[in-house]
Amino acid sequence: MSEVSFPLAIPSADNHLMTLHQEGPLFILHLHHKDNRFTTEFCRGILYALQVVEDIFNDSEDPVDMALVTTGEGKIYSNGLDLMHAVSYIPFMETYLLMLRRLLTFCIPTVAALNGHAFAGGCLLALAHDYRVMRDDRGYMCMNEIDLPANLPPGMAGLLRYKMTPDTFRNCVLQGHRFPAKQALDEKLVDVICPGTEVLPKAKELALKWAPKAKSGIIYRQLKEEMYADVVRLLSIPYNRLAPKM
């Protein structure tokens, strides 16, 4: 596999939507494109970053400590799907669902460092990680589809269902409830909350704590694939909308 050098600007240096860094056993994917909304290009950037990390993992002689941390920029982790793009480019959803699937069953431990808002598709991105650290003074986790209004494809609903307790799930989806950090912690949507400046350091700390589990090699991913078998299946259901013309 070809050598990449870090930090890695993705998709490219001229079109720099996110950066992949390496710090010892940790890989840090920093999303920094406006409010980090998902387009086909953005999702492919994330998929590419995941492939780079996975290739490095597979290349090592013996599996070693490794973990992945993702974080956003400023007030926003991610505001979700770029809706204009989603309705105008039919193949988009496939790429988005694939990205969720890959992250959900990623081969090493993953930690989402929620520096700010995680709305809709961005909330799902956060939940697709193994662990979450959230800023305690600003920002919400929220699935606001009910208010758009928009439906939830099978895989997206499935991911929520599997990562939340029933009452939280109901409030999240049917009320579009905005979960601030303290409530997110109480309802087990996140694992750690802390001041904004400590989010990334705490996320790295948590990542370092669980990085040794990557030594199980291919097993880490296989265990997640079994745990989330139903979600993987649901995320693989083709998403189509009957567009008026096509």
List contacts with other proteins (CB under 8 A): 1, 39-41, 51, 54-55, 58, 61-63, 85, 88-92, 105, 217-218, 221-222, 225, 232-233, 235-238, 240, 242-243, 245-246
Which H/E stretch holds residue 70? strand 67-71
Q: How far apart are CA 130 and CA 116, in angstroms?
A: 18
171 vs 216, which CB is nearer to other proteins?
Answer: 216
Compute the least distance from the CB of residue 165 to other proteins, in Å. 26
96 vs 179, which CB is nearer to other proteins?
Answer: 96
75 vs 85, which CB is nearer to other proteins?
Answer: 85
Cα first-last separation, the chain: 40
Q: How far apart are CA 68 and CA 66, in angstroms?
A: 7
Compute the least distance from the CB of residue 240 to other proteins, in Å. 5
State whether residue 17 is helix, strand or coil.
strand
Contact 119, 80 (CB under 8 A): yes
Compute the least distance from the CB of residue 229 to other proteins, in Å. 8
147 vs 230, which CB is nearer to other proteins?
Answer: 230
Compute the least distance from the CB of residue 155 to other proteins, in Å. 10
- The tokens describing 6, both together, are 């870090």
Q: How far apart are CA 201 and CA 190, in angstroms?
A: 16
Compute the least distance from the CB of residue 24 to other proteins, in Å. 20
166 vs 242, which CB is nearer to other proteins?
Answer: 242
Enumerate residues 6+ apart whose C-beta is below 8 A from 133. 111, 112, 113, 114, 190, 191, 192, 193, 194, 199, 202, 203, 206
13 vs 243, which CB is nearer to other proteins?
Answer: 243
What does the DSSP 8-state code read for residue 88?
H
CA proximity to 106, closest of 142, 71, 58, 141: 58
Compute the least distance from the CB of residue 173 to other proteins, in Å. 24
Compute the least distance from the CB of residue 22 to other proteins, in Å. 19
175 vs 222, which CB is nearer to other proteins?
Answer: 222
CA proximity to 101, closest of 239, 190, 218, 231: 231
